[in-house]
């Protein structure tokens, strides 16, 4: 195991771009975790698999529906369809699997979430098989040089699109009537119901938005790396949950910050001690952070109301 300590400007820029890309994927998935937890206190462990399902829907659209293959039009159509279909899938999961258990003990709904994760994974496995699928699209490799590092326009596009999606969510939460309803329900669900807010409708919308963003991350990841597998949601879901905890579970800016932080930690671990140890490095930092600040970077200590 080699330990790399010297770093030049070109390596720094290249590793920073890599960190921003992988961190953006984690942040988009972590937003779904933190939104659902913030409203109904559910750790939706099936959420990472929605990331995977979004990638497979996009793969199917690109290869069998649009007929445009790897063209820009085909990619845009695949993105839109994957995000919308996955969003409605998330709403369906909430309606069928979670809503009947909202009044049940927390352990019951948590086990159901694990069950939904297995259903999604094995459903995709049955439909597509265990063999990794190759995306029928290749991102352009042209770009520019910055401080000696080669940066492609595709990398910049992924970072910009991720930032726009996160900004759009922030604007939706703070400026729309539904976003205000989500924040109100997170504070006191019973009071919101008495005030005439359709709590179930807002919860369903929360699942739609979270699943929508997860599918966007799945499509960007699939087109960037070029292949997908039915187990990819497990790994990314676990790391995105970690990112949500790092930032402060239930805190939307915290999920964004946690995703980028985890991406940077992984990149540092990959460069310094090797790719096989990057997860160990990231989780050691996570444990240290939670010992120092258990609520996460932006999390706040909450007093339980009796």
Structural domains in the chain? 9-292 (1.10.3470)
Least confident span in 1-5, 73-77, 108-112, 190-194: 1-5
What does residue 138 show for φ and ψ, rounded to 5 degrees?
-125, 120
Least confident span in 3-12, 42-51, 83-92, 206-215: 3-12
- pLDDT per residue over 24-51, tens digit each? 888 888 888 888 888 877 788 888 889 9
pLDDT bin (cut points 50, 70, 90) of residue 306 is very low
Q: Which long-range contacts (C-beta less than 8 Å, at least 24 apart) are formed by 109-118?
A: 109/42, 110/42, 110/43, 110/45, 113/42, 113/43, 113/44, 113/45, 113/46, 114/45, 114/46, 116/45, 116/46, 116/49, 117/45, 117/46, 117/48, 117/49, 117/233, 117/234, 117/237
Q: How far apart are CA 210 and CA 213, in angstroms?
A: 5
User: Three-class SS of residue 2?
Assistant: coil
- DSSP lists the bridge partners of residue 149 as 146
- Number of neighbouring beta carbons within 10 Å of residue 150: 15
Q: How far apart are CA 271 and CA 267, in angstroms?
A: 6
User: Three-class SS of residue 144?
Assistant: strand
Whether the predicted pLDDT of 254 surpasses 50: yes
Q: How far apart are CA 150 and CA 77, in angstroms?
A: 29
Would you state the pLDDT for residue 3? Answer: 47
Would you state the pLDDT for residue 302? Answer: 47
Average pLDDT over residues 54-73: 74
Which has more pLDDT, 165 or 275? 165
Contact 44, 192 (CB under 8 A): no
CA distances from 125 to 24, 65, 120, 229 (A): 26, 20, 8, 9
pLDDT bin (cut points 50, 70, 90) of residue 10 is low
Helix locations, 94-152, DSSP H: 106-128
CA distances from 45 to 121, 136, 219, 273, 276 (A): 12, 29, 20, 30, 25
Whether the predicted pLDDT of 70 surpasses 60: no
**In 3D, which of 301, 234, 187 has the Cα closest to residue 47?**
234
Q: How far apart are CA 87 and CA 177, in angstroms?
A: 20
Measured distance between the N- and C-terminal CA atoms of the chain, rounded to whole angstroms: 53
Which has more pLDDT, 67 or 74? 74
CA distances from 136 to 62, 72, 74, 128, 236 (A): 7, 12, 10, 15, 22
Would you state the pLDDT for residue 301? Answer: 55
Which has more pLDDT, 149 or 44? 44
Residues with Cβ within 8 Å of residue 202, at least 6 apart in sequence: 39, 178, 181, 182, 185
**In 3D, which of 178, 184, 244 has the Cα closest to residue 214?**
244
Which has more pLDDT, 205 or 18? 205
- pLDDT per residue over 71-130, tens digit each? 677 788 888 999 999 999 988 888 888 888 877 777 888 888 888 889 898 988 888 888
Least confident span in 158-162, 260-264, 284-288: 284-288
**In 3D, which of 296, 279, 287, 295 has the Cα closest to residue 239?**
279
Mean model confidence pLDDT for the chain: 81
Would you state the pLDDT for residue 86? Answer: 92
């Amino acid at each position: 195991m080699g330990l790399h300590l010297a770093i030049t400007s070109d390596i720094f820029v290249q590793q920073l771009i890599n960190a921003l890309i992988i961190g953006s994927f984690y942040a988009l998935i972590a937003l779904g975790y933190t939104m659902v937890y913030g409203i109904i206190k559910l750790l939706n462990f099936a959420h990472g698999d929605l990331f995977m399902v979004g990638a497979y829907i996009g793969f199917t659209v690109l290869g069998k529906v649009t007929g445009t293959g790897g063209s820009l039009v085909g990619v845009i159509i695949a993105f839109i369809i994957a995000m919308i279909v996955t969003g409605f899938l998330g709403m369906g999961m909430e309606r069928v699997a979670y809503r009947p258990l909202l009044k049940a003990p927390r352990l019951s709904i948590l086990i159901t979430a694990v069950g939904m994760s297995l259903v999604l994974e094995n459903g995709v496995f049955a439909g597509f098989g265990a063999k990794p699928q190759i995306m029928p699209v290749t991102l352009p490799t042209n770009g520019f040089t910055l401080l000696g590092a080669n940066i492609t326009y595709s990398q910049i596009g992924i970072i910009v699109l991720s930032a726009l999606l996160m900004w759009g969510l922030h604007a939706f939460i703070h400026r729309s009537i539904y976003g205000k309803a989500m924040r109100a329900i997170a504070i006191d669900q019973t009071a919101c119901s008495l005030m005439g807010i359709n709590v179930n409708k807002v919860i369903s919308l929360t699942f739609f938005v979270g699943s929508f963003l997860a599918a966007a991350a799945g499509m960007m990841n699939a087109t960037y790396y070029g292949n997908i597998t039915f187990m990819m949601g497990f790994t990314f879901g676990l790391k995105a949950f970690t990112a949500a905890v790092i930032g402060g579970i239930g805190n939307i800016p915290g999920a964004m910050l946690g995703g980028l932080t985890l991406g940077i930690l992984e990149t540092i671990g990959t460069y310094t001690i090797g790719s096989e140890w990057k997860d160990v490095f990231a989780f050691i930092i996570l444990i240290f952070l939670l010992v120092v600040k258990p609520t996460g970077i932006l999390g706040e200590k909450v007093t339980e109301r009796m």
